[in-house]
Amino acid sequence: MKRFSLLFLGAVLLLAPLSRADEGMWLLPLLQKYNIATMQSMGLKLSAEDIYSVNHSSIKDAIVMFGRGCTGEVISSQGLVLTNHHCGYGAIQSHSSVEHDYLKDGFWAMSMEEEIPTPGLSVTFLVRIEDVTDVMNNMLQGRITESERAKIIEAVGDSLSAEATKDTHYYALVQSFYGGNAFYLLVYETFNDVRMVGAPPSSIGKFGADTDNWIWPRHTGDFSLFRIYADKDNKPAKYSPDNVPYKPKHHLPISIKDLEKGDFAMVLGYPGSTTRYMTSWEVEESEKITNSNRAYIRGIKQDIILEDMLASDEVRIKYASKYSGSSNYWKHSIGQNQALKRLHVKSSKEKSEAEFLKWLDGNGKRKEAYGEALPLIRDAVKGRRDYVHANQYLLETLYMGTEIIGLASRANDFYKYLNEGQEKISDDEKEKEMAKRVNRFKESAKAFYKNYNCPTDKKVAKAMFKLFNDNVSKELQPELFNIIRTDYNGNFDEYIDNLYDKSIFADSVKLWAFLENPSAESLKNDPAFYAATSIGKTRESYSEKIGFFNDNYKKGHRLYVAGIMEKNEGKPKYPDANFSMRLTYGKVLDYYPKDAVHYNYITTLKGVMEKEDPDNWEFVVPDKLKDLFESKNFGPYAMKNGEMPVNFITNNDITGGNSGSPVINAKGELIGCAFDGNWEAMSGDIIFEPDYQRCISVDIRYVLFIIDKYAGAKRLIDEMTIAR
């Protein structure tokens, strides 16, 4: 194993300048070895040290992990953070009400005193990345199972993380890269006092909504603003009115100069997940199971929810964030399946596998080292097929698709305590422990009910239970479904009506009454809790079955990636995205999506007006924006030709998690905020398509124009560093 590790790392260190400039999500500590020469030949004026440095301020110190799944960038010396509107959407929604509808009307703090604290929202800075592959692999010697391997990795990772953060307020984790063949320690600093500063109305921030999502040309002002607050020593602190704006090590200067085709552009951020080493069997699984199921189930659920949202402002506000999160990957699944077929991705993967097998046949040692890789993957994917299908249906329709089931499942630990946990503590502690558990569950339920509408959930539940029953074989269904067939003669509407009528979880009044005098017996007899328990047991059985196959898959995948690295020694390879900070570089670039069709690299406010449809909520244009357009009151943010830019595209390699990432020019200046990919390359997480892959960004000049001319919040412009 040790010899293998050294061979592998040797191959990795040789991977550099032959890669396409526009492909790859690269690790920052390796830029000097792999990428900087190519980047500078494309026009970059900075050094690798200017981008990533442990000892000095650098661009990475202006990049944050925003919340739990996005990226943001610091754009002023007072901790002002820019991210996407859809990344800040949950926060905007949480502060909205019928009386203060920030989703519909937007929000702008005209002073720091008006900036709104947002509990639960955090931003995280990367402190450093350290290669710990040799340390980890030294502990992975000998013949060990995949389960044993995982336990060792976890234990060693915990030890390394603890040592790295000793006597600091940082946190750290060890992540695997290159299919589990390399390991890096990542150290972070998190700030939890983050306040909402500004957001355009959804008619700007989500203009085009589902129809335009993933589509170019695009005309969306997808941005929002927040501010980081710290204690008087500039350290992370929980919310306090005494906290002050954070002073960053670095903030991004902003360029308002015109963009030209071919201009250098790089994106730094936290791409969530790619599967570029996916095999043909996995492509088929994604196409026929994962994507197809998600698109079908969510399409039905979203139609029900949207009908209620359009009928009531209260329901619209409650479900805005949930609907947006669901619909984003509903459309992604549809687009990815179309791209997988159109671009013949499965055939491309089969060709790569054939080349790999041919390479193995040429050498006995290779065959011994990597010969079982593809058979392990193939057999695992085929073996888990039925369980993956059933598990996805269970999650999409019941466990996450029906909200009351999700709430009832949270009571499982509380039930265990009521049923047997009190025997383990003294009488003196029982009252205190009960009060603590009741309060904890009540706080969780309060957050749930804030964004819950029982009639909507009931409609969804009737559709979702039927969907699960019709599409999952009976032998894989929870015991609950046998009861519905027996006691309700298979009438799901009648069963759902009874569940919502009788469950304590259907509304807060019933649940609060139960919590006044909770008992295990009452919970056990509650129909929603019983349903959640039955569904939970079935989910555990699926996980056990899938886990058996996944152990073999993980081994096969690790060996396959290791073999590819050795096979392609001397050629550049980057690890799959795993929500660690990466850099991708490319150019501002147009493209030809199909025969006789050309898409320019930039869109303007004129296009917003052309798309306007006052009868379609997705394409409503605010009156003030129309007035600004008619008067050409664009300030210093217009292009030289007098038009107002809105969005632009580059050929940077991005994925989910890059939302909110800064698009930076050759001088290290901010030119845009990435927010989407394009329809023609929806297979990009699986295979990079250089002719089609584009990153869609909101032009920073449109951001400044909306802040200044539309919102009148020039105080925010004044704290930025503008390069004119």
Rama region for 79: left / alpha / beta (φ>0; ψ in -120 to 50; rest): left
Which structure tokens are listed for 124? 């995280």
pLDDT(488) > 50: yes
Average pLDDT over residues 421-428: 70
Distance CA 332, CA 679 (A): 8
CA 611 to chain centre: 29
Whether residue 335 is found in the same domain as residue 231 = no
582 or 9, higher pLDDT: 582
What's phi and psi for 370, nearest 5 deg? -125, 5
pLDDT(477) > 90: yes
Average pLDDT over residues 51-61: 97
86 is catalytic: yes
- Asked, for residue 91, whether it belongs to a domain, the answer is yes
Give the pLDDT band (50/70/90) at residue 467: very high
Cis bond upstream, residue 29 (ω within 30): no
Distance CA 681, CA 690 (A): 9
Distance CA 532, CA 535 (A): 5
Which residue in 86, 219, 251, 389 is the catalytic one?
A: 86
Whether residue 191 is found in the same domain as residue 291 = no
Which structure tokens are listed for 37? 């020469």
Give the pLDDT band (50/70/90) at residue 430: confident
- Asked, for residue 435, whether it belongs to a domain, the answer is yes
Whether residue 284 is found in the same domain as residue 186 = no
The bridge status of strand 224-230 relative to strand 80-83 is: antiparallel
Count Cβ atoms within 10 A of the Cβ of residue 98 and give its class: 0-12 exposed, 13-18 middle, 19 or more buried. exposed
Between the alpha carbon of residue 22 and those of residues 19, 25, 35, 50, 251, the distances in Å are 8, 9, 11, 20, 25
**DSSP SS3 for 403:** helix
**DSSP SS3 for 426:** coil
pLDDT(721) > 60: yes
Domain count, the chain: 2
- Residue pLDDT, tens place only, 368-386: 999 999 999 999 999 999 9
b/e burial code for range 111-148 (CB count within 10 A of at least 16 → b)? eeeebeebeebbbbbbbbbbbbbeebbeebeeeeebee
Which structure tokens are listed for 131? 């290669």
The pLDDT of residue 427: 73
| Long-range CB contact pairs, 489-494, < 8 A, 24+ | 492/462, 492/465, 492/466, 493/462
- Of 72-86, 190-204, 416-430, 434-448, the range with the lowest mean pLDDT is 416-430
Distance CA 306, CA 237 (A): 39
* End-of-domain residue from the set 517, 533, 554: 554
Q: Residue 673 forms beta bridges with which residues?
A: 662, 698
User: Are the C-beta atoms of residues 635 and 250 closer than 8 Å to each other?
Assistant: no
User: Are the C-beta atoms of residues 127 and 170 closer than 8 Å to each other?
Assistant: yes
The pLDDT of residue 367: 95
Range of the domain at 84: 2-16+48-252
Whether residue 466 is found in the same domain as residue 340 = yes
- Asked, for residue 265, whether it belongs to a domain, the answer is no
pTM: 0.93
* End-of-domain residue from the set 554, 584, 617: 554
Q: Residue 677 forms beta bridges with which residues?
A: 695
Between the alpha carbon of residue 363 and those of residues 111, 181, 357, 567, the distances in Å are 69, 21, 11, 11
Whether residue 115 is found in the same domain as residue 231 = yes
Read out DSSP for 240-292?
Answer: -TT-EE---S----EE-SPP-TT-EEEEEE------TT--HHHHHHIIIIIIH
Residue 135 half-sphere exposure toward CB, CA atoms < 13 A: 17
* End-of-domain residue from the set 252, 272, 288: 252
- Asked, for residue 232, whether it belongs to a domain, the answer is yes
- Asked, for residue 350, whether it belongs to a domain, the answer is yes
pLDDT(8) > 50: no
Average pLDDT over residues 486-500: 98
Distance CA 314, CA 312 (A): 5
User: Are the C-beta atoms of residues 212 and 218 closer than 8 Å to each other?
Assistant: yes
Whether residue 224 is found in the same domain as residue 335 = no
Question: Which of 146, 132, 238 is closest to 191 using CA atoms?
Answer: 238
User: Are the C-beta atoms of residues 441 and 411 closer than 8 Å to each other?
Assistant: yes
pLDDT(105) > 50: yes
Q: Residue 26 forms beta bridges with which residues?
A: 583
Distance CA 154, CA 164 (A): 15
Give the pLDDT band (50/70/90) at residue 573: confident
Whether residue 314 is found in the same domain as residue 224 = no
Whether residue 200 is found in the same domain as residue 324 = no
The Cα angle at residue 450 between residues 445 and 452, in degrees rounded to 5: 90
Whether residue 134 is found in the same domain as residue 192 = yes
263 is catalytic: no
What's phi and psi for 248, nearest 5 deg? -75, 160
The pLDDT of residue 422: 67
pLDDT(394) > 80: yes
Whether residue 228 is found in the same domain as residue 344 = no
Tokens 């046949």 sit on residue: 361
659 is catalytic: yes
Which residue in 22, 193, 222, 653 is the catalytic one?
A: 222
The pLDDT of residue 22: 65
pLDDT(10) > 60: no
Distance CA 325, CA 320 (A): 9
Average pLDDT over residues 564-575: 85
- Asked, for residue 166, whether it belongs to a domain, the answer is yes
Which structure tokens are listed for 626? 């129309």
Kindly report the average pLDDT of the chain as a whole number: 94
pLDDT(1) > 80: no
Whether residue 374 is found in the same domain as residue 458 = yes
Element (H, E) at 374: helix 373-383
**DSSP SS3 for 198:** strand
- Residue pLDDT, tens place only, 700-715: 999 999 999 999 999 9
Residues 6 or more apart in contact with residue 392 via CB below 8 angstroms: 289, 290, 293, 294
The pLDDT of residue 290: 97
Distance CA 495, CA 483 (A): 10
Whether residue 429 is found in the same domain as residue 526 = yes
Helices and strands (DSSP H and E) totals, the chain:
30, 23
Which structure tokens are listed for 213? 């999502």
Angle between helices 385-393 and 454-471 (to 10 degrees): 160
Which residue in 96, 286, 659, 697 is the catalytic one?
A: 659
pLDDT(20) > 70: no
Question: Which of 85, 206, 182 is closest to 131 using CA atoms?
Answer: 182
631 C-beta neighbours (distance < 10 Å), count: 9
The pLDDT of residue 421: 67
- Asked, for residue 512, whether it belongs to a domain, the answer is yes
